[in-house]
Amino acid sequence: TFPTAPGSLLTPTGLGRRGFLALLDLAAELKEAKRARRERPVLTGRNIALVFEKNSTRTRCAFEVAAYDQGAHVTYLGPTGSHLGREESVADTARVLGALYDGIEFRGFAQETVEELARHAGVPVWNGLTDEWHPTQMLADVLTMREHRPGDVEAISCCFVGDGRGNIARSLLATGAMLGMDVRIAAPAELLPPEALVKEARHAALSSGARVTVTSDPAAALDGADFVYTDVWVSMGEAEAEWDRRVPLLTPYRVTAELMAATGRPGTRFLHCLPAVHDTTTELGRRIHQNYGLAGAEVTNEVFTSAASVVFQQAENRMHTIKALLVTALGE
Ligand code: CP
Ligand code: NVA
């Protein structure tokens, strides 16, 4: 086995505060350079493997466009596209891909899988989402927050409402605590983040100056928040039957216009990692409507399409931040 290669990103806190913020500065520069058509490719001739056990729109496309813009090549291996997890072990797959490629993105179920890949690949490995963490999403989210609230990252307050045990809530808690932000999680008692994680966040806050709030009272958590963030109520890989349990639990945490108003601030923005259940035009949205009488689930269409919603800017920022990650890890 190898030590995890420098430039890897396995968890939201993996870069440390300074490394995280340095990537955001680079991402902002790269975004500007692309807009001005003066981007300089530094990944010419590099090869990157994109391994997905779960579906993706943004993460896959962000890695692909970022790589192509910088002159690198990618190979996409989808949920059924390789031997991984069926005929071949994670360690053997890692050895093969590590010999052929300069870096590996992995999205899947167990966090242990991406860590095992990193132990055996000998090249940088990037976590493109697991059941536990979504670190590259955090880069895009904090860049988006900074674009709307320039200045000290410590001055930003972000309130997540919804499933506090999911990869997004967990990642926001860890990221906000590391960066010194005012980070709040509002979730029903049954879906609060794991106690150990909250403890770690509170511990990190001692040195970063973060304010960490974890509560089942959405009104208290929302007061004065710059950003309201939510995620799908049932994540990829979770049982379909969870919808029956979670809809009643999470309906009080649904992001409606009234909930947005509870921040008491006119300028509060709405964030969502996407994909979102906000109307009845998708197969999932129709099923939620049919089964529970809700048009949209975690967020209403009204909020999703409002001027406060910056979700597509967030989605675009996936690409700029992932590019910064690739350039930092593999650039000349
Ligand atoms: N936000 C996000 O990770 O989206 P995808 O599932 O489309 O990659
Ligand atoms: N929590 C969601 C995030 C999707 C980007 C999931 O894991 O499905």
Q: How far is the CA of 288 from the centre of ligand 2 (A)?
A: 17
Question: Is residue 279 pLDDT above 90, yes or no?
Answer: yes
- What's the whole-model pTM score? 0.98
Compute, in angstroms, the gap from residue 218 CA to the centroid of ligand 2.
Answer: 21
Residues 112-140, mean pLDDT to the nearest whole number? 98
**Average pLDDT for residues 118-137, to the nearest whole number?**
98
Topology at the third CATH level for domain 16-133+318-330: Rossmann fold (3.40.50)
58 CB within 6 A, ligand 1: yes
Model confidence at 146: pLDDT above 90? yes
Distance between Cα 284 and ligand 1 center (Å)? 16
Report the nearest atom of ligand 1 relative to the CA of 236.
6
Q: Which residues are catalytic?
A: 107, 134, 137, 231, 273, 318
CA 50 to chain centre: 17
Q: Answer whether residue 258 shows pLDDT above 80.
A: yes
Q: How far, in Å, is the centroid of ligand 1 from the Cα of 273?
A: 7
pLDDT > 70 fraction of the chain, expressed in percent and rounded: 100
b or e along 106-116 (b: 16 or more beta carbons within 10 Å of the residue's beta carbon)? Answer: bbbbebebbbb
| Domain locations along the chain | 16-133+318-330, 150-225+227-267+269-307
Ligand 1 atom 6: residue of nearest CA: 56
Q: Is the CB of 130 under 6 A from ligand 1?
A: no
The verdict on domain 150-225+227-267+269-307 having CATH code 3.40.50.1370 is yes
Given pLDDT bands bounded at 50, 70 and 90, which one contains residue 271? very high
For residue 309, give every residue at least 6 positions away whose Cβ sits within 8 Å of its Cβ, in sequence order, or none: 269, 270, 272, 303
pLDDT at position 173: 98
The alpha carbon of residue 184 and the mean position of all alpha carbons in its chain are separated, in whole angstroms, by 16
What is the model's pLDDT at position 85?
Answer: 84
Q: How far is the CA of 259 from the centre of ligand 1 (A)?
A: 25
User: Are 177 and 183 within 8 A, CB to CB?
Assistant: yes
Instruction: Give pLDDT, residue 299.
Output: 98
- Closest residue (by CA) to atom 2 of ligand 2? 235
Ligand 2 pocket member 277 (CB < 6 A): no
| Mean pLDDT on 219-227 | 97
Residue 16, pLDDT score: 97
Average pLDDT, the chain: 97
Reading across the β-sheet that carries 227-230, which strands appear in turn? 211-215, 182-186, 157-161, 227-230, 269-272
Ligand 2: which of 235, 250, 311, 318 to mutate, judged by most atoms within 8 Å of the beta carbon? 235
- Note whether 16-133+318-330 and 150-225+227-267+269-307 share their fold: yes
Read off the pLDDT of each residue in 255-274 and give the average, rounded to a whole number: 97
Task: Place 128 in a pLDDT band, splitting at 50, 70 and 90.
Answer: very high
Q: How confident is the model at residue 2 (pLDDT cuts 50, 70, 90)?
A: confident
Relative to the CA of 236, which ligand 2 atom is closest?
8
* Ligand 1 atom nearest to 273, measured from its CA: 1
| Res. 1: pLDDT tops 80 | no
Measured between alpha carbons, how far is 275 from 171 in angstroms, rounded to an integer?
17
Residue 25: the pLDDT is: 98
Q: Which ligand is nearest to the CA of 141?
A: 1
129 Cα nearest atom in ligand 1? 3
Contact by Cβ (8 Å): 134, 160 = no
Ligand closest to Cα of 311 equals 1
**Is 251 a pocket residue for ligand 2 (Cβ < 6 Å)?**
no
Residue 198 in this model has a pLDDT that exceeds 90:
yes
Binding region: 56-59, 107, 134-137, 167, 231, 235-236, 273-274, 318
Q: Assess whether pLDDT exceeds 90 at residue 270.
A: yes
Query: What does 267-290 look like in DSSP terms, one character per residue?
Result: T-EEEE-S----SSSSHHHHHHHH
d(CA 74, CA 258): 44
Asked if residue 3 has pLDDT above 90, the reply is: no
